[in-house]
Structure 1
């Protein structure tokens, strides 16, 4: 009877993941739909001293990439080795800064180019669009998981890994591609 109770308890705990994952999926779908139907815009966006909006996005998203790499390192430190309070504070502050810096990049991507898929869209651009919306969906799910006291132990590392992986993929398919194609000129 104890085994049956343990299995049921684990299953109930894993059920907590369902609404969290649903919320993240809803955010990703909403962004994809907005990028498909509401954008791209027709007004030019400011370049903030860069030669093109793509240069602005490439450099800003590279700064986010550095912060997200720091997020990964501090998360492992916190999760595996019970890091001291200053590391946890740095993790939160750098995560907030990474998220805030990612917002103009996302806006420029959705507003300037929209969510691109289908005929005539390259695989690179389509994969970038998917990775971008998955990043924000996974981020929402991760933040919700942090607020749920009884979330299953596997959920936070999986979502954190998805946040990291989706951003790195989006960066590789856009910023890295831009730097390789155009160069590092501002």
Structure 2
């Protein structure tokens, strides 16, 4: 057995450590204990919904350019867009995560809705998968399947978190708030 698949173990453990750490941090801060500014929106939920929707658009571009890069010969412009869109998407996701952790906390237990539990887990998985993906890009000799799997996990976990929070918020409260 070659050492190549074994490189995936510390990469995946790093991502798991990030995800678990965020979940533990989120349990420390209970909802409403740390009010944050709403930046002109009607509340933190509206701020999160709109900002995370912008991130969703950027990561959809990420998905398309990733497929382009892996399936066909992509030029420098595609690679540059992919990196730039990923950097901007990650940077814009940080205030959303900050609001999730410090205003709403990690929701779990008997009193929590299934939607909010899954949303909390998906958000933690997003950052854990992102950490693993970035580490994979910097390491040599990683298995060929690892980067696409982690990229898919980053995309899928963000879409799930967005659907359970932002889409739900738009569906229940509309776009005008």
- TM-score under structure 2 length normalisation: 0.97
Aligned counterparts, 1:72-87, within 5 A: 72-87=63-78
State yes or no: 1:59 paired with 2:53: no
Partner residue, 1:23: 14
Structure of higher CA gyration radius: 1
Q: Distance in 2 between matches of 1:182 and 1:168?
A: 19
Structure 1 match to 2:155: 164
The two structures have a TM-score, normalised by structure 1, of: 0.93
Structure 1 stretches lacking a partner, 5+ long:
1-7
Structure 1 residue corresponding to 2:132, chosen from 133, 138, 141: 141
Answer yes or no: is the 8 Å Cα contact 2:52–2:162 preserved in 1: yes
Q: CA deviation at 1:82?
A: 2.4
Aligned residues: 177
Q: Match for residue 116 of structure 1?
A: 107
CA RMSD of aligned residues (A): 0.9
Shift of 1:118: 1.0
1:86-130 per-position Cα deviation (integer Å, ceiling 9, x unaligned): 100100000000000000000001111101111110100000000
